[in-house]
Amino acid sequence: MEKQLEGPLQKAIFFLEAQGYRYAIIGGIALSEWGFIRVTRDVDVKVLVPDMDYTAVRNALRGAFPTRARVHVPENPFIVAVEIDEVIVDFLLAAPGYEEMIIERAVQRDLGGWSAWICSAEDLIIQKVVAGRGKDWPDVEALLIEQHGRLDEPYIENWLAQFAEALEEPQLLTEYQRLVAQVRQLGDDNQYQ
């Protein structure tokens, strides 16, 4: 993790834990915890919203971290973007269903003298496939290589099939399956060990 992110991340996590909010770190920081270092300039944290009281959670986050980030972007009811020590921290408020699973399946990891909940490698892959940005596919490939043989592939494929159907984007699943086959071929050829 980049040194400049550690302090803001720690402040965000300590606040969430002090308030009793369950969470999972996602994005670039989670990616680095699963073995693929990629430069990231912000912090992304998925937050479980007790009793679906989004207003209360948004108000608590804004009260603790009043400096709004991305002031040129319209407010989103599911994202609280703040600045902590000149670093953008995106608190993404979990919607019922799959996003709650991200937090349920999170694993506690040591972050150099303190610990935090990181989303599972499987859920990170699912989020990146569904986001489908240009930078996400190389991240998915790197995770597949780094976590080869340790992933719950039926879990990933089940959720991707559901998202592909719900979003009417069948290529989400087929592109993922193509990438899995490619990584398996690399493994068979022992090119990445």
Do strands 42-47 and 87-93 pair parallel, antiparallel, or not at all (unpaired)? parallel
CATH topology of domain 1-119: Beta Polymerase; domain 2 (3.30.460)
pLDDT tens readout for residues 60-110: 999 999 999 988 888 888 999 999 999 999 999 999 999 999 999 999 999
The helix (run of H) or strand (run of E) holding residue 63 is helix 54-64
pTM of the predicted structure, to 2 decimals: 0.91
Cα dihedral 92, 93, 96, 99 sign? positive
The residues spanned by each domain of the chain are 1-119, 121-193
**CA-to-CA separations, 52 to 47, 49, 55, 90, 170, in angstroms, rounded:** 11, 5, 9, 19, 30
The answer to whether residues 172 and 130 touch, using CB atoms and an 8 Å cutoff, is: yes
| Interval 2-48: pLDDT, tens | 788 999 999 999 999 999 999 999 999 999 999 888 888 899 999 99
